[in-house]
Amino acid sequence: MTSALGIILVGAVVAASCALVGSFLLLRRVTLMGDAISHAVLPGIVLAFLFSGSRAAGPMMLGAAALGLLTVFFVELFHRSGRLKEDASIGVVFPALFSLGVILITRYAGQVDLDLDCVLYGEIAYAPLDVFRLGGVALGPRALWSNGVILLFNALFVTVFYKELKLSTFDSELAAALGFAPLLIHYGLMTAVSVTVVGAFESVGAILVVAMLVVPPATAYLLTDRLAHLLALAMAFGVLSSVGGYGLARLFDVGIAGAMAAVTGLLFTLALLFSPQHGLVARALRHRRLGNRLLGRIALLHLSGTEGGIEVAILRERFAWHGRQLRRALDELAGHGLVTLEGTTARLTAAGARAAEAAGAAEIGHPLARPPVGLPKPDSDQASAFGS
Amino acid sequence: MEMSFTVRNVLAGATLLGAVGGVLGGFAFLRRQSLLGDALAHATLPGVCLAFLLTGSKAPLVLFTGALIAGLIGALAILGVVRGSRIKEDAAIGTVLSVFFGFGIVLLSRVQRSPAGNQSGLDKFLFGQAATLVESDVALMALTGGLALGTVLLLYKEFKLVTFDRGFAASLGLPTIRLDVALTLLLVMVVVIGLQTVGVVLVVATLVTPAAAARQWTDSLGRMLLLSGLLGAGAGAVGAWVSASAPRVPTGPVIVLAGAAALLVSLFLAPRRGLLWSYWRERRLAARIRRENLLKDLYRYGERLGGDFAAPVPLIHLRGVRGQGLGELRGATARLARESLVERIGDALRLTGGGVERAASVVRKHRLWELYLTRRLALPLDHVHRDAETMEHALDDGAEARLDEILGYPPTDPHGQPIPRPGGRA
Amino acid sequence: MSEPREETAIEVHDLTVAYRTQPVLWDVDLHLPAGHLIAVVGPNGAGKSTLLKAVLGLVKPVTGWVRIFGAPAQQRRSWVGYVPQRESVDWDFPTTAVDVVEMGLYGQLGWFRRPGRRHRERALECLEKVGIRDLADRQISQLSGGQQQRVFLARALAQDARLYLMDEPFAGVDATTEQAILQLLKELMSEGRTVVAVHHDLQTVREYFDHVVLLNLRLIAAGPVATTFTAENLQRTYGGRSTVLTQAAEELLGRGAFDRTSAGQVD
């Protein structure tokens, strides 16, 4: 296997397993638990290292999972007892555990073959050098195997508990009422996050794990409203980021892991700007269009009481903050033949008068014509990711 | 003791950072922006690298400025993503944090390969090597920190109001958005001066941990901020001192752990909010409730025997009543026996004379409260029993007397059971 | 009511407010007379809170303007007291009851200046007026819902305003507090002050207020309770989908009513 392929594959597998669990973190609004766990597992890894004396995957996973669960436990303890808000609980727990890890590393530097820089931002370039051998046969990078197993584990977890994860994420009280033990699911998910983080640790480092956990799911969230699509898209963006990141790193001769994280950000920015439904551009256009229509209706209303039309300047005064848009709205009304603009005076046409009456009385003026309160408005964010 | 220049600088820097971080972190803590500091710290990396790449200088002021600008851009990006899209705040923070940092790492690798050579200067700026603090660094920290603290002192009243009640602040005509921006700017400044001492990852702890600890001790904002600053300074001093006196101990992590220790003590032992005390109170209350329930059960048993309250009740009958375990029953019995309220006769329990009176009082409260609920709140009969079960243990004698008065000294409860009169029996 | 010439506390003209592109208030024209207790009534999402905020100048209208005692809101800040919804703040904030009341004086203090002993005295007086002076040094999370509402009212009193805008002052308070608040409002009115309160309990509108504003996106009706708070206007406000009676039932269930034995009458 070439080194390039090895790096890309390791990156892709890490990205995919991160995206799987990260999507649920996103929907449960606890993405920063991912951030916290990715730092807090450090002492677990160091301790596993000290006790087992090797970089064997088993003890490390165990140590990391234990610390991951400990993190969740402390955060929940402080948060649920009402003494600290959730963000503060996270903000106090993980730096403390991380500090413990750093001190352990520095104190036992002789025994621990862990480099702090590597912990912080990883070095995926070396991943292909550490080859997994079975009976003397080279079977590709070790990191590929370990992360492959984790990916499989995550895929299994998400597939088997899909229904439970979905329900407890959407409505944990309902899940509890139906006997689905949301707390157990929560801890299960956090265990998966911890294990995933350890696997990714050596390859991409503590902080870039966060990029893989958070950003591809967030990007997908901007593009779809369905959970299954969200998972698939998030994995796709993760993989794309690792491929693109490798390419860019080679092109500009920069760090690979950092480049992968930067590409996740690039994809996110593109989705943020250009998502057809939730993108900033689409939104701005929609608001402008709807805004014009709204201003048009208000303009009609103001014109309807005036026999001989009204000076545009006077109208503009009433639209204090929207003087410029008013002009556009009036032009649009004129385009529809509802208003005539003669010099500086705007006047309703016969059709405009009818429209004004309709606008004032029926279309939005009458309470019955409004959508029932509580339903998502056309451009609101309340549509969940649970279309079906 | 002679103190070397290095140690003095580290001590001054760490203490200063702790104090300023504690105060500004206090506001972030109360505004539920504890993790904003984390994001801002990570977001500074590309700024530092770009400042170096553009100027070729490693002067603290240059890097400081770059970090400040990048941090502010990060804050704006979070705000923009949350305001403008469906992404929630936690994901926005995570995204900005990791993407900015990733981009920073890319730039850092660029710096490494640039002809200007080694990155060590940038390294210490980011991953916290307090030992490298020199006098001019400390001076810059003092200047920035002083500016931040001075602003808080000057605008204390305004910051307080906008943190507590934005709507009301706006109704008074305060420029709430500008005050938000000012607080965020101050936070970025603290984060930036924290980088060199504790590093990117741990800055958040110097902001949140002292504030979280201080909050447990006081209910006044002013005192909380003061205490938070003191705790932060103390943790900083401890960190500097420990790392100076023990070999191979990094300063930043010790500062953080010192703060965490203070927090743990505060969370568990602070006078009113301490978890230990509330755990203890709950345990005591639960035990008292078990005792009172036992008395009540014995009383009811006597009622069923036509008012023979002195009759021994087999333990086996008491176990089933509310599903309490044998151990709990035993504990309650032992305490009641010590108070001479019950007597143990073989496998049975019996109320003593004093026990009957105490039991009557519990039953009385229960039945009065049930009656109150049905009469005054018109709650359906089948709903009131459980409410009364919890209230009877909370009513004191004064409340009981008033309840009796309001209800006109009723003889029976809504189920038709007699309400025991004080001093006597039903 | 046929007083010959009443002073106008609030004049709202042509007011249209939209959040993004969704209109929340549509072409509202309103004159509210000074010296009355005025209820703002309407279904959820009818724009009641928005109306208060627009009067305060906290939201920018698309069209229209508001005048308070004949001048723009910005010039009348010191004449206006505001009581936000109780849920709008974090009651775990490290501060005491008297401290919150003192915040009502921040407007007079201006920038940079700190409140002193005189201000503390004034804050305590205001707590006295709402009957909880003995709780002055309590941390605010240790107050009951009713007591928290009283703290907010005391803060408004400290503002010594001519016009009070209150967002659901009766929401989630116990019966005693409800009576105490009502007493306070009547007192304010007797001193010639004006109170405009968003109110949810249709049953008590007649009893508590003398003027009413019925709102549902548009202004449905406004005027003295006796002539305005009619079944027909209510029907128009709440629409056919929710009759007055079911609405009242919802209110009762929703607010965890305490000690309400006699159902009020709405005809």
pLDDT(B336) > 90: no
pLDDT(B135) > 60: yes
The 10 Å Cβ neighbour count of residue A53 is 11
The one-letter amino acid at A121:
Y
Lowest mean pLDDT among A15-24, B97-106, B323-332, C212-221: B323-332
- Looking at residue B320, its pLDDT comes to 61
Q: In what order do the strands lie in the sheet with C163-167?
A: C80-83, C163-167, C194-198, C37-41, C211-216, C218-224
A319 touches chain C (CB under 8 A): yes
DSSP for B241-260?
HHHHHSTT--HHHHHHHHHH
CB within 8 Å: A365 and C21: no
Query: What pLDDT band is residue A387 in, cutting at 50, 70 and 90?
Result: very low
- Distance from C-alpha of A135 to C-alpha of A141, rounded to nearest angstrom: 15
Arithmetic mean of pLDDT over chain B: 85
- Looking at residue A155, its pLDDT comes to 95
- Distance from C-alpha of B28 to C-alpha of B290, rounded to nearest angstrom: 44
- Distance from C-alpha of B232 to C-alpha of B20, rounded to nearest angstrom: 8
What average pLDDT does range B352-374 have in this prediction? 82
- Looking at residue A64, its pLDDT comes to 85
The one-letter amino acid at A47:
L
Arithmetic mean of pLDDT over chain A: 81
Question: Taking CB atoms and an 8 Å cutoff, what residues of chain A touch C217?
Answer: 364-365, 367, 370
Task: Closest CB to A222: pick one of B85, B273, B275.
Answer: B85
A107 touches chain B (CB under 8 A): yes
The one-letter amino acid at A21:
V
Mutate to test the interface with B, among A86, A97, A106, A214 (most CBs of B within 10 A): A214
Q: Which residue intervals of C130-215 are DSSP H helices? A: 145-158, 175-190, 205-208
- Looking at residue A52, its pLDDT comes to 83
pLDDT(B322) > 60: yes
Question: Taking CB atoms and an 8 Å cutoff, what residues of chain B touch A90?
Answer: 34-35
- Looking at residue A370, its pLDDT comes to 37
- Distance from C-alpha of A285 to C-alpha of A292, rounded to nearest angstrom: 10
- ipTM for the complex? 0.84
- Looking at residue A71, its pLDDT comes to 93
B172 touches chain C (CB under 8 A): yes
Arithmetic mean of pLDDT over chain C: 84
- Distance from C-alpha of A180 to C-alpha of C70, rounded to nearest angstrom: 61
Task: Closest CB to B250: pick one of A106, A218, A264.
Answer: A106
* Count of pairs with CB atoms under 8 A, one residue in A, one in B: 205
Lowest mean pLDDT among A362-376, B27-41, B235-249: A362-376
- Looking at residue C257, its pLDDT comes to 34
- Distance from C-alpha of B235 to C-alpha of B266, rounded to nearest angstrom: 14
CB within 8 Å: C58 and B215: no
pLDDT tens-digit map of A223-265: 998 999 999 999 999 999 999 999 999 998 888 888 999 999 9
The 10 Å Cβ neighbour count of residue C210 is 18
Q: Check if the beta carbon of residue B255 is closer than 8 Å to that of residue B238.
A: yes
Of B10, B17, B7, B28, the C-alpha closest to B233 is B17
Tokens (6 digits) for B94: 């995570």
Lowest mean pLDDT among A291-305, A344-358, C234-248: C234-248
Tokens (6 digits) for C56: 């305060």
- Distance from C-alpha of B21 to C-alpha of B17, rounded to nearest angstrom: 6
- Looking at residue B387, its pLDDT comes to 64
- Looking at residue A229, its pLDDT comes to 94
- Looking at residue B121, its pLDDT comes to 64
- Looking at residue C53, its pLDDT comes to 93
Rg for chain C, CA atoms, rounded: 18
Q: Check if the beta carbon of residue B113 is closer than 8 Å to that of residue B180.
A: no
Share of chain C above pLDDT 90, in %: 51
Kindly state the DSSP code that residue A276 receives in the 8-state scheme. Answer: T
Q: Please write down the long-range contacts of B132-139, taking CB distance under 8 Å and 24 or more positions apart.
A: B132/B196, B133/B6, B133/B9, B133/B10, B133/B13, B133/B196, B133/B197, B134/B9, B135/B5, B135/B9, B136/B60, B137/B9, B137/B13, B137/B60, B137/B196, B138/B9, B138/B12, B138/B13, B138/B16
- Looking at residue B20, its pLDDT comes to 96
- Distance from C-alpha of C9 to C-alpha of C245, rounded to nearest angstrom: 32
**Higher confidence at residue A125 or residue B187?**
B187
C68 forms beta bridges with: C10, C71
Query: What pLDDT band is residue A117 in, cutting at 50, 70 and 90?
Result: low
What average pLDDT does range C237-258 have in this prediction? 47
**Higher confidence at residue A82 or residue B15?**
B15
Count of positions (residues) in chain A: 388
Q: Check if the beta carbon of residue C39 is closer than 8 Å to that of residue C212.
A: yes
Q: Check if the beta carbon of residue A36 is closer than 8 Å to that of residue A93.
A: yes
**Higher confidence at residue A217 or residue C74?**
A217
A386 forms beta bridges with: A226
What average pLDDT does range C126-153 have in this prediction? 92
pLDDT(C138) > 60: yes
Q: Check if the beta carbon of residue A153 is closer than 8 Å to that of residue A195.
A: yes
Tokens (6 digits) for A175: 């899940």
- Looking at residue C245, its pLDDT comes to 41
- Looking at residue A327, its pLDDT comes to 78
Of A245, A265, A97, A92, the C-alpha closest to B101 is A265
Task: Closest CB to C139: pick one of B154, B172, B219.
Answer: B219
pLDDT(A368) > 60: no
Of A375, A366, A296, the C-alpha closest to A336 is A296
Question: Taking CB atoms and an 8 Å cutoff, what residues of chain C touch A82?
Answer: 92
Angle between helices A280-304 and A350-358 (to 10 degrees): 110
What average pLDDT does range A110-139 have in this prediction? 73
Q: Check if the beta carbon of residue B76 is closer than 8 Å to that of residue B67.
A: no
**Model pTM?**
0.84
Tokens (6 digits) for A195: 């294990």
A211 touches chain B (CB under 8 A): yes
Handedness of CA A337, A343, A344, A347 (dihedral sign): negative
Max avg pLDDT among A57-66, B32-41, B221-230, B303-312: B221-230
Tokens (6 digits) for B318: 């008491």
Of C106, C157, C161, the C-alpha closest to C132 is C157
Query: What pLDDT band is residue C33 in, cutting at 50, 70 and 90?
Result: very high
What average pLDDT does range A350-373 have in this prediction? 54
Question: Taking CB atoms and an 8 Å cutoff, what residues of chain A touch C15?
Answer: none
Query: What pLDDT band is residue C5 in, cutting at 50, 70 and 90?
Result: low
State the DSSP H helix or E strand holding residue A20, giving kind and residue range, or none if neither: helix A3-27
pLDDT tens-digit map of B234-252: 999 999 999 888 878 888 9
Q: In what order do the strands lie in the sheet with B342-345?
A: B313-314, B348-351, B342-345
**Contacts (Cβ under 8 Å, ≥6 apart) of C166:** C82, C83, C153, C156, C195, C196, C197, C198
- Looking at residue B385, its pLDDT comes to 67
What's the CA dihedral at A168, A173, A178, A182 to 10 degrees? 40
Query: What pLDDT band is residue B92 in, cutting at 50, 70 and 90?
Result: very high
- Looking at residue C261, its pLDDT comes to 33
- Distance from C-alpha of C220 to C-alpha of C198, rounded to nearest angstrom: 15
CB within 8 Å: C237 and A318: no
- Distance from C-alpha of B56 to C-alpha of B115, rounded to nearest angstrom: 10
What average pLDDT does range A125-146 have in this prediction? 79
pLDDT tens-digit map of B286-304: 888 888 888 888 888 888 8
Share of chain A above pLDDT 90, in %: 33
Tokens (6 digits) for C137: 């040094």
What average pLDDT does range A11-30 have in this prediction? 93
Query: What pLDDT band is residue A144 in, cutting at 50, 70 and 90?
Result: confident
**In chain C, what are the helix, strand and coil shares in percent, each to the nearest 5?**
40, 25, 35
Reduced to 3 states (helix: H, G, I; strand: E, B; else coil), residue A293 is: helix
- Looking at residue C247, its pLDDT comes to 45
Residue A373, CA atoms < 13 Å, CB-side half-sphere: 15
pLDDT(B355) > 80: yes
**Higher confidence at residue B42 or residue C265?**
B42
Q: Which residue has the tokens 């990714």?
A: A200
Tokens (6 digits) for B319: 């176990």
- Looking at residue B117, its pLDDT comes to 53
φ/ψ (deg, to 5) at C63: -135, 165
DSSP for B46-63?
HHHHHHHHHH----HHHH
**Contacts (Cβ under 8 Å, ≥6 apart) of C137:** C96, C97, C98
Chain B nearest-CA distance from A325, in A, is 21
- Looking at residue C260, its pLDDT comes to 34
Angle between helices A256-274 and A182-221 (to 10 degrees): 80
CB within 8 Å: B163 and C74: no
Task: Closest CB to B164: pick one of C89, C112, C115.
Answer: C89
Kindly state the DSSP code that residue B237 receives in the 8-state scheme. Answer: H
pLDDT(C254) > 70: no
Tokens (6 digits) for A327: 């002009």
Pairing between strand C211-216 and A339-342? unpaired
What average pLDDT does range A42-55 have in this prediction? 84
- Looking at residue B376, its pLDDT comes to 66
Q: In what order do the strands lie in the sheet with A345-348?
A: A310-311, A345-348, A339-342
**Higher confidence at residue A141 or residue B146?**
B146
- Distance from C-alpha of A341 to C-alpha of A293, rounded to nearest angstrom: 18
Reduced to 3 states (helix: H, G, I; strand: E, B; else coil), residue C38 is: strand
The one-letter amino acid at C252:
L
